[in-house]
Chains A and B, each alone.
Chain A
Amino acid sequence: MTSRRRPVLPGFGLSLGFTMAYLGLVVLIPLAAVFIKASGLTWHDFLAAVGSPRVLASYRVTFGVSFLAALFNVPFGVILAWVLVRYEFPGRRLVDALVDLPFALPTAVAGIALTAVYAKNGWIGRWLEPLGIQVAYTWLGIWVALTFIGLPFVVRTVQPILEELEPELEEAASTLGATRGQTFRRVILPALRPAIITGFALAFARAVGEYGSVVFIAGNRPLHTEITPLLIITKLEQYDYRGATALASVLLFGSFGLLFLIQLLQRRARRAAG
């Protein structure tokens, strides 16, 4: 669109130079340190650090519960986005604003608040206790925290797509004799699918690295409710820098892989949209 023969704006060298220098100094060099430090380990040491039973159990908790929390956020995130875009009800603006709370609330505050609510004598925990459901200090507590943390992602990725959806499409479907359910399944859902998958992946990636909101409610029993980020801190406190670095590189690898996947999905969605 813009031709290159027009006058050029000043400041390109300065702004890009500063950007690269600052990015390198603050982000890239420190992150490279993890991989360089990890590559200094022998293969045998590395495998021992990332493959001990306690560590394997922590992956199961971290990745497994993160997956379940992100999965739970898919239907409820879509319902919430749908309700916010399509319906008018008292307090709609307030609910819309509250959706971002998990982004804005410090994780440690979320952690102690959720623990207070879901503990045995808490507002919600006391109703679940007679049913034999214990949330705080079990994997369910971790699930609650990770669901909280991931709540905005699906809503905020689906919401704009739903707003831009042409009403004519739905009208055409109903003119052709489709029921509301069929229209949703065949017309609306396919249009939302890329956004749903992106929202799910973002929530999942966020949950995998989460620390602050989880440690208070998890109980942190090794092999049962211990997450990988906590194990990194435990190893650091024992001055086991190698073990901590090896685990961190696994976690980084996992989240970078997810990030790459998200970029790929978004690029495909953009191309599909033209």
Chain B
Amino acid sequence: MAGTVSTLAHVAKHRQRRSLGDPRWVRWSLIGLALLFVGLFLVVPLAAVFTEALRKGVGAYFAAFKDPDAQAAIRLTFLAAGIAVPLNLVFGLAASWAIAKFEFRGKALLIALIELPFAVSPVVSGLVYVLLFGAQGWFGPYLGAGDHPWLGSWINAHDIQIIFAVPGIVLATVFVTFPFVARELIPLMQAQGRDEELAAVTLGASGWQIFRRITLPNVKWGLFYGVVLCNARAMGEFGAVSVVSGHIRGQTNTIPLHVEILYNEYNIQAAFAIASLLTLLALVTLVLKNLVEWRHRRVIEAAAAADLRQFAS
């Protein structure tokens, strides 16, 4: 019940918080400062991406996407995100189920460890995989050298290369996008508690039924947003992927790396054209985020309104 009361208070506060009055000149100068800040640092760069991309007209804009190297980069980016996102989705579900529905020691530490990749510089995230799988790395000597009795020869036979190749890019992408889904789901599932699941157990539901019929529908919007964020980062990651990629055109370049190459070759217009694709992805991510938040608020307010009616009757 404590939850209901705080929800009611929250809704009430949302209604009245704008009534606080400051003098008109204070209000408008603060709004002006805030808008100037947002304009200079966010809006102008955003507008610049599309202006530079369309500088030579619509024809040149679309020509940048016809380049086979650009298409290969887009394919590789989709591949890396297509592997990293589902893996981290499964992880996020497992981690939030364990953390939110059960009590165990070291939970706070586990949550902190899950967020660890956020604290690691993208460059270091790439470096760790070079240290593990590079030519001088721990497992590196087994890759290609063939001195391990069976592992080396198996890898030789299958010509597997990890660093400066596609597997390294996938691994680095998995690492940098690791916390996204889990971080959205853990607080959400913790807030929802486990009463509904426990009721289902009492009624004889199996674990899989509980998960599919109760837990998953309850968290679907948070899950959706976590996946969207995870995907945006997976497709846009630059630093980590740059370290493990061989920068081979048409083979180990992702979209952001292709943008860098074009830019460094002074092919500015093409660089911004490809960059505009990632910018659109970022804008779609922001729109979806606000949509999910709006839905959340509506659900909370609807529940609060129902409670109000109960109080009244």
Contact with A along B14-39 (1 / 0, CB 8 A): 10111010110011001101110110
Contact with B along A213-245 (1 / 0, CB 8 A): 000100000000000011011001001010011
- List B contacts of A163 (CB < 8 A): 13-14, 17
A101-B286 in contact given A95-B34, A180-B22, A211-B239 (Cβ < 8 Å): yes
* Contacting pair B116 A208 (CB below 8 A): no
Would you call A7 an interface residue if the criterion is a C-beta within 8 Å of the partner chain's C-beta atoms? yes
Interface positions, chain A 106-122, Cβ under 8 Å from B, are: 106-110, 112-114, 116-117, 122
Interface positions, chain A 140-172, Cβ under 8 Å from B, are: 144, 147-148, 151, 163-164, 167, 170
* Contacting pair B31 A83 (CB below 8 A): yes
Q: Report the nearest B residue to A101, measured CB to CB.
A: B42
Grouping DSSP codes into helix (H, G, I), strand (E, B) and loop, the A interface class, with mixed when no group exceeds half, is helix
- List B contacts of A108 (CB < 8 A): 236, 238, 256-257, 259-260, 275
Would you call B110 an interface residue if the criterion is a C-beta within 8 Å of the partner chain's C-beta atoms? yes
Would you call B226 an interface residue if the criterion is a C-beta within 8 Å of the partner chain's C-beta atoms? no
* Contacting pair A116 B52 (CB below 8 A): yes
Q: Report the nearest B residue to A214, measured CB to CB.
A: B239
Interface positions, chain B 228-242, Cβ under 8 Å from A, are: 229, 232, 235-239, 242
Contact with A along B185-224 (1 / 0, CB 8 A): 0000000011001100110001100110000000000000
* B213 nearest CB across to chain A (Å): 14
Q: Report the nearest B residue to A114, measured CB to CB.
A: B45
Would you call B302 an interface residue if the criterion is a C-beta within 8 Å of the partner chain's C-beta atoms? no
Would you call B1 an interface residue if the criterion is a C-beta within 8 Å of the partner chain's C-beta atoms? no
Would you call A23 an interface residue if the criterion is a C-beta within 8 Å of the partner chain's C-beta atoms? yes
Would you call A263 an interface residue if the criterion is a C-beta within 8 Å of the partner chain's C-beta atoms? yes
Interface positions, chain A 27-51, Cβ under 8 Å from B, are: 27-31, 33-34, 37
* Contacting pair A27 B282 (CB below 8 A): no
Q: Report the nearest A residue to B262, measured CB to CB.
A: A112
Contact residues of B with A, CB < 8 Å?
13-14, 16-18, 20, 22-23, 26-27, 30-31, 33-35, 37-38, 40-46, 48-49, 52, 90-91, 94-95, 97-99, 101-104, 110, 112-117, 119-124, 127-132, 134, 136-138, 174-175, 178, 193-194, 197-198, 201-202, 206-207, 210-211, 229, 232, 235-239, 242-243, 256-257, 259-260, 263, 268, 271-272, 275, 278-279, 282-283, 285-287, 289-290
- 5 inter-chain pairs at a CB distance below 8 angstroms, sorted by A residue, are A19-B110, A27-B178, A29-B132, A151-B41, A244-B127
Contact residues of A with B, CB < 8 Å?
2, 4, 6-12, 14-16, 18-19, 22-23, 26-31, 33-34, 37, 76, 79-80, 82-89, 93, 95, 97-110, 112-114, 116-117, 122-124, 144, 147-148, 151, 163-164, 167, 170, 180, 205, 208-212, 216, 229-230, 232-233, 236, 239, 241, 244-245, 248, 251-252, 255-256, 258-259, 263
